[in-house]
């Protein structure tokens, strides 16, 4: 049996490898050309065969032309790169040119052109009230807040809403009532539950104060606790809720209205709240022809819709431009003296101030007199402040910062009378031109 097995093995080897006298080729190229399929299947004890590891490696090397992509030297550095794996680099696009910031002259021209456009769009909705609109524009371009006081039906709310539409800014209105809470203004945290996992967490819900233009309608209808919710927002442009400080959108304006006639169920604004308003603007009744135009236009089918003129970014640039306006030292001193001599405790205060005033204007009055004078000068196309600019903004800047006493009420003296006397007593600086 052993002789027959050996004879069969020899026959098999003779059929696949040629004559038995020739040794098996050791050249690896010959091994790759003639894969030893039968040898690999021999039973144990047969002729020696190659290890499976060597065969696998030999198979891998034996097919380079079918599996491997051609290589080329693309950058002539001697390093081969795969042409298919890395596509040729795309041509570099030119870097975008940086937009140059506008110069002061260009910003002033934009402001002057924008002022005319703004007035044109306002006139589509508001009839009359030229002084009110002029003072309101000073507040807007200066980046301040405004308190508007007037009888019902004089378009206080309509004026503010129209401005928000023209400026393309976010607008929200709060109707102040006795039951309004501070969280109704600033926002509050609620428990939010994930229905899938059942996980609960606190989520902050923003209040209406997170906007660009906030209309506080009839602000004196709510208690001081709720009125005070606006203090931090007006001064620091931020809100602190639940131990976290949240920044407000820029620009941020607060326009508040109040009715000076009806005093039942009202809460007068505290001095700290009043002092944060740049201007207090008074709206009066229209003349006969103007009221006729209002009555006929609002009762007809035709309605003019104002279009957008400015954006929030434009308003912030105008605010920066206002602060670039230089002011001479005598003009600034004139504004400071108007505020200081309105205080009855001041050594140089006039006798009528000591007689009729219980509390004078603070430091914010000096700041807003100068800032208002700068804005008025720009709106008239001038890049310098004059004494007339300070006098023009003195009434809206001081009327809510000076408190008269009982003696003034008995003598029928109003705050407007005190401001007029101050403007007469304090000499205006003369121009050196």
Residue 261 in this model has a pLDDT that exceeds 90? no
List, in order of start, the domains of the chain with CATH numbers.
2-65 (no CATH), 104-320 (3.40.50.300), 325-433 (1.10.8.80)
Mean pLDDT value across residues 391-397: 95
Chain segment 183-239, per-residue pLDDT in tens: 999 998 888 888 888 788 888 889 999 999 999 999 999 998 888 889 889 989 999
In contact, 254 and 233? CB cutoff 8 Å: yes
C-alpha span between 419 and 138 (Å, rounded): 20
Q: What is the pLDDT of residue 46?
A: 47
In this model, does residue 71 exceed pLDDT 60?
Answer: no
pLDDT band at 431 (very low <50, low <70, confident <90, very high): low
Dihedral-angle region of residue 128 (phi above 0 means left; psi in -120 to 50 means alpha; beta otherwise): left
Give pLDDT tens digits for 10-28.
Answer: 444 444 444 444 444 444 4
pLDDT band at 6 (very low <50, low <70, confident <90, very high): very low
Residue 372: pLDDT above 50? yes
| pLDDT score at 49 | 44
Residue 256, class by beta-carbon neighbours within 10 Å (0-12 exposed, 13-18 middle, 19+ buried)? buried
pLDDT in tens, 285-329: 888 998 898 888 888 877 778 888 888 888 888 899 899 999 999
- Quote the pLDDT of residue 60: 43
Average per-residue pLDDT in the chain?
79
pLDDT in tens, 147-167: 999 888 888 888 888 888 888
Q: Give the pLDDT band of residue 117 (cuts 50, 70, 90).
A: confident
Q: What is the pTM of this model?
A: 0.73
In a 3-state reduction of DSSP, which class is residue 40? helix
Confidence of residue 86 (pLDDT cuts 50, 70, 90): low
Write the CB contacts of 27 (distance below 8 Å, at least 6 apart in sequence). Answer: none
Give the pLDDT band (50/70/90) at residue 99.
Answer: low
- In this prediction, residue 190 carries a pLDDT of 87
Strand ranges in 209-276 using DSSP code E only, listed in sequence order: 213-217, 238-241, 244-247, 253-258
Give CA separation, 30 vs 24, 26, 27, 56, 308, in Å: 10, 7, 5, 16, 85
Phi, psi of 350 (to 5 degrees): -65, 160
């Amino acid at each position: 049996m052993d002789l027959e097995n050996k004879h069969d093995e020899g026959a098999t080897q003779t059929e696949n490898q040629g004559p038995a006298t020739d040794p098996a080729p050791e050249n690896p190229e010959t091994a790759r050309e003639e894969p030893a399929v039968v040898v690999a299947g021999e039973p144990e004890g047969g002729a020696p065969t190659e290890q499976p590891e060597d065969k696998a490696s030999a198979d891998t090397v034996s097919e380079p032309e079918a599996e491997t992509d051609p290589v080329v030297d693309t950058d002539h550095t001697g390093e081969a790169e795969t042409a298919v794996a890395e596509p040729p680099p795309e041509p570099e696009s030119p870097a975008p040119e940086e937009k140059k910031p506008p110069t002061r002259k260009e910003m002033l021209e934009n402001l002057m052109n924008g002022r005319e456009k703004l007035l044109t769009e306002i006139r589509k909705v508001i009839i009359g009230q030229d002084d009110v609109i002029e003072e309101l524009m000073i507040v807007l371009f200066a980046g301040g807040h405004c308190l508007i006081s007037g009888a019902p039906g004089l378009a206080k709310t309509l004026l503010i809403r129209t401005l928000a539409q023209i400026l393309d800014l976010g607008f929200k209105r709060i109707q102040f009532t006795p039951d309004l809470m501070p969280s109704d203004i600033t926002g509050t945290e609620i428990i939010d539950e994930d229905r899938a996992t059942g996980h609960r967490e606190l989520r902050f819900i923003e209040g209406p104060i997170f906007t660009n233009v906030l209309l506080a309608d009839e602000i004196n209808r709510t208690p001081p606790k709720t009125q005070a919710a606006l203090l931090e927002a007006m001064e620091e442009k931020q809100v602190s809720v639940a131990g976290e400080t949240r920044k407000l959108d820029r620009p941020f304006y607060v326009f508040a209205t109040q009715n000076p006639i009806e005093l039942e169920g009202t809460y007068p604004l505290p001095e700290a709240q009043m002092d944060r308003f740049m201007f207090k603007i008074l709206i009066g009744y229209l003349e006969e022809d103007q009221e006729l135009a209002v009555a006929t236009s609002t009762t007809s089918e035709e309605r003019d819709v104002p279009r957008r003129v400015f954006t929030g970014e434009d308003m912030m640039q105008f605010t920066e431009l206002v602060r670039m306006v230089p002011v001479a030292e005598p003009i600034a001193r004139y504004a400071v003296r108007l505020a200081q001599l309105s205080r009855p405790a001041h050594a140089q205060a006039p006798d009528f101030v000591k007689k009729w005033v219980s509390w004078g204007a603070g430091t914010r009055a000096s700041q807003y007199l100068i800032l208002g004078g700068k804005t008025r000068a720009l709106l008239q196309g001038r890049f310098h402040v004059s004494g007339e600019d300070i006098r023009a903004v003195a009434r809206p800047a001081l009327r809510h910062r000076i408190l008269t006493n009982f003696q003034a009420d008995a003598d029928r003296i109003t705050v407007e009378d005190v401001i007029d006397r101050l403007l007469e007593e304090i000499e205006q600086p003369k121009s050196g031109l």
